[in-house]
Amino acid sequence: MNSRIADIQSRMIALQTQQAAKTAQAQPATAQPGAAGDDFAAKLQEAMSGTTGAAGRSYTLNSKGIPTELAAYGNGKIPANALEQVGNTRHKLWAPAAQDLNRMIADAKRDGVTIGITDSYRPYEEQVDLARRKGLYSQGGLAAKPGTSEHGWGMATDLDLDAKAQAWMRKNADRYGFVENVPREPWHWAYKPKTA
Ligand SMILES: [Zn+2]
């Protein structure tokens, strides 16, 4: 009996030691000067379940890569106040995409490269109109089936790029979460942030 208790005690001590080691390892990566417990918890939550945007906010994408905070609205049905303006333009995207696009445009400008925005969030009605005017991509056209466009989630932008800017984008855009993912549409850049 005594030996069983001793065994349990030694296992508990081993577990506590492991736990302490884990905590010690976790701290240097997450603790910051003046970081409070709440901050630590928020960062831990971020590291476990989400991705960090430009402003350090945490968010999650569902299994289809759609922001969970927007999924319930439906493609092309997102209210204006759930999206964020890109800089001082008339364009709106999902907030983390808007912030990263803004940052990318500013950095490109410092490299002497001009990135213009042609299109961004696209409401459902505009997707219908575009499909009518430009034809469905699946049939050789340039429009997604209405209700399926990445633009309908505020997760893609069409850019006005000259040759120099196109080259800059192909070299640098992935650092900002933007990928060229549609053959025949070198202007279309989808926001695919890396998950933690
Ligand atoms: Zn596009």
Give ion ligand 1 contacts, CB < 5 A.
158, 188
Distance 124 CA to ligand 1 centre (A): 14
- In angstroms, rounded to a whole number, what is the distance separating the alpha carbons of residues 164 and 35? 43
Mean pLDDT taken over the chain: 83
Residue with tokens 């109109």: 129
Residue 101 near residue 86 (C-beta atoms within 8 A): yes
pTM tops 0.85, yes or no = no
Distance 129 CA to ligand 1 centre (A): 14
Distance 158 CA to ligand 1 centre (A): 5
What pLDDT score does 29 carry? 41
Distance 59 CA to ligand 1 centre (A): 23
What pLDDT score does 15 carry? 53
- Residue 31, pLDDT > 50, answer no
For the chain, percent helix, then strand, then coil, each to nearest 5? Answer: 50, 15, 35
pLDDT band at 85 (very low <50, low <70, confident <90, very high): very high
